[in-house]
Amino acid sequence: MSGQAGGLPYVRIGFLRFLGIDFGWENQPSGVAALDWAGGTLHLAALDRLRLPGDVLRWVEAEATADTGIGIDAPIVIPNASGMRIADRLAHSLYGKYHAGAYPASRARTFWKRTTRFSAALGKLGFGHGDEWAPKSSGRFQIEVHPHAASVQLFLLDRIVKYKRGRVADRAAELNRLRGLILERLPLLVPKLELTELPEIPHAGRGLKAVEDQLDALLAAYIAAHWWYWGRERNEVLGNSRLGYIIVPHRQRAKTIVLDEPSAGADPIKQFEEWYALASVAGIAEPGAVALATVSSEGQPSARMVIVREADSRGFVFYTNYRSLKARELAANPRASLVFYWPELERQVRVTGEVGKTPRAETERYFRTRPRGAQLSAWASWQSSVIPGRDVLERRIEKLESRYAGQDIPAPPGWGGYRLRPDTIEFWQGRANRLHDRLRYSRKASGRWIVERLAP
Ligand SMILES: Cc1cc2nc3c(=O)[nH]c(=O)nc-3n(C[C@H](O)[C@H](O)[C@H](O)COP(=O)(O)O)c2cc1C
């Protein structure tokens, strides 16, 4: 196989592979995944689920090359007769706060023979323990990994994605979130995983478990690649090969992400949608929150937060009161600016442009999606006018509740949307040593966008 990756032609000769195994500790099947390293990028080569340890060993024999690293999600070294391994204790103290503590492993547990025998069989195939591995060297290694802990580190989560326990519908939703994180995030990291497709998340319990095992295996393979690439520079080794060990990537700094010049004809709205999609899955509480700056007719600027509810090629939409200060300023001067800030990703997006009211039908459509309490507040609050006390609002809400009891609440005439049509959109990506990336798109009269790099 040959092809193009990162602009470099690549040919797979004696290529490097990373295998991930979500090993079934008791009698469960194992998820398996293979990643190839080619042209400076990882590519997904296989994703499967196998029933028995023997099947997994045969799969490794068939898939491994001379240079292959294996990440295994299972305790592969268990010297202690009882209690917990040092590695598990360390995992608890470091990652317990993210709910990613390790399952304690000792010889008192029934699984210990199955997992350590599997590791010993890999040893016979030339896969020695890789806890002392020199980065980017050749050969074969196996390491123990912990996909849960790795996911909080790689995806900058404040809590693991909980797809292992609970109701099927909740598990499916959580697993879908993990799938989104893998698709969005691993292509941005170093080493980069080129990835555009993954199995869809099924809604039945058994199918769900199968995809879960495969996604865990994919993470295990990625951790092996991350270990091969960075070694101790960007990974934590909890324990050692005598006492048992787990390798966990360091918490990723968004600074490891770069913002490259796009190819000609690039569309800033598409770029925004990609960034917004990532912000939505990165654990940011309100990714649509923006500072909106307007300027009065006297030239006095004023900024406040609003929430962008919609963004597409027509512009950025927010909803507010049409008698508020911002509304009065926009009536006098329709030019405004928006700033999104996503600190977890070290990203900022700045937008300037002209603002106009959204069509009434669009406002009404959006208003119907708001919770009833928020619909009543839109009627009750004469935003930005001085009121004598909070009780005025509460009395108004009571009256409105009885007026609209058992009825739909219409959108108030003095309330609605604004759409900011962008003239410029600047993307800012934090980088090391404050040498940040900034790309500014400007719309030409023809409607075409040009893009320029700005000094940080
Ligand atoms: C995170 C956040 C989101 C907000 N979202 C909105 C919004 O979508 N619409 C709105 O009218 N006010 C929103 N507000 C309140 C505004 O910041 C502001 O207080 C209000 O709109 C009055 O602003 P004005 O007097 O400049 O018109 C939000 C405030 C915060 C802190």
| pLDDT of 258 over the 80 cut | no
Q: Tell me the C-alpha distance between 136 and 116, whole Å.
A: 26
Residue 350's φ and ψ, nearest 5 degrees, are: -115, 135
| pLDDT of 274 over the 90 cut | no
Is residue 280 within 8 Å of residue 287, measured between CB atoms?
Answer: yes
> Ligand 1: distance of its center to the CA of 306 in Å?
5
- Ligand 1: atom nearest CA of 309 is 8
Pocket of ligand 1 (CB under 6 A): 286, 289, 302, 304-307, 318-321, 324-326, 383-384
| SS3 at position 233 | helix
| pLDDT of 261 over the 90 cut | no
Q: Which two tokens stand for residue 152?
A: 């909080």
Nearest residue (by CA) to ligand 1, atom 18, is: 304
Is residue 295 within 8 Å of residue 329, measured between CB atoms?
Answer: yes
Is residue 1 within 8 Å of residue 12, measured between CB atoms?
Answer: yes
Ranges assigned E (strand) in 114-167: 128-129, 140-144
Residue 451's φ and ψ, nearest 5 degrees, are: -125, 135
Q: Tell me the C-alpha distance between 448 and 434, whole Å.
A: 31
R_g of the chain, CA atoms, integer Å: 27
Pocket test residue of 284, 290, 304 for ligand 1, highest count of atoms within 8 A of CB? 304
pTM: 0.58
DSSP-derived secondary structure for 84-99: --HHHHHHHHHHGGGT
Q: Match 């029934």 to its residue by tokens.
A: 110
- Ligand 1: atom nearest CA of 324 is 27
| pLDDT of 196 over the 90 cut | no
Task: Please name each of the domains of the chain with its CATH number.
Answer: 3-249 (no CATH), 261-453 (2.30.110.10)
Is residue 425 within 8 Å of residue 268, measured between CB atoms?
Answer: yes
Active site residue 179: no
Residue 4 banded pLDDT, cuts 50, 70, 90: very low
> Ligand 1: distance of its center to the CA of 374 in Å?
13
Q: Which residues contact 276 (CB under 8 A, 6 or more apart)?
A: 287, 288, 311
pLDDT at 422: 98
Amino acid at 270: K
- Ligand 1: atom nearest CA of 328 is 27
Nearest residue (by CA) to ligand 1, atom 5, is: 306
Q: Tell me the C-alpha distance between 282 and 346, whole Å.
A: 12
| SS3 at position 54 | helix
> Ligand 1: distance of its center to the CA of 382 in Å?
13
> Ligand 1: distance of its center to the CA of 331 in Å?
17
Pocket test residue of 295, 305, 338, 370 for ligand 1, highest count of atoms within 8 A of CB? 305
Residue 281 banded pLDDT, cuts 50, 70, 90: low
Nearest residue (by CA) to ligand 1, atom 7, is: 306
From 434, 438, 440, 448, the catalytic residue:
434
pLDDT at 397: 95
pLDDT at 102: 84
Q: Which two tokens stand for residue 166?
A: 């609970």
Q: Which residues contact 183 (CB under 8 A, 6 or more apart)?
A: 195, 196, 198
State CA 52 to chain mean position distance: 32
Q: Tell me the C-alpha distance between 39 and 130, whole Å.
A: 24
> Could you tell me whether strands 2-5 and 8-11 are parallel, antiparallel, or unpaired per DSSP bridges?
antiparallel
Does the CA dihedral 108-122-141-151 come out positive or negative? negative
Q: Average pLDDT, whole number, for the chain?
A: 90
Give strand pairing partners of 142: 70, 129
| pLDDT of 13 over the 80 cut | no
pLDDT at 263: 63
Please write the tens of the pLDDT for every residue from 211-250: 999 999 999 999 999 999 999 988 999 999 999 999 999 9
Pocket test residue of 320, 355, 363, 381 for ligand 1, highest count of atoms within 8 A of CB? 320
> Ligand 1: distance of its center to the CA of 284 in Å?
18
pLDDT at 346: 84
Q: Which residues contact 399 (CB under 8 A, 6 or more apart)?
A: none
Nearest residue (by CA) to ligand 1, atom 22, is: 384
More confident of the two residues 318 and 205? 318
Does the CA dihedral 107-110-113-119 come out positive or negative? negative
Nearest residue (by CA) to ligand 1, atom 11, is: 320
Please write the tens of the pLDDT for every residue from 342-397: 987 789 999 999 999 999 999 999 999 999 999 999 999 989 999 999 999 999 99
Q: Which two tokens stand for residue 69?
A: 């690293």
Does the CA dihedral 151-154-155-157 come out positive or negative? positive
pLDDT at 203: 84
- The helix (run of H) or strand (run of E) holding residue 214 is helix 205-230
Give the length of the chain.
456
> Ligand 1: distance of its center to the CA of 335 in Å?
18
> Ligand 1: distance of its center to the CA of 314 in Å?
22
2-27: average pLDDT: 65
Instruction: Work out the percent of the chain whose per-residue pLDDT is above 90.
Output: 73
103-132: average pLDDT: 96
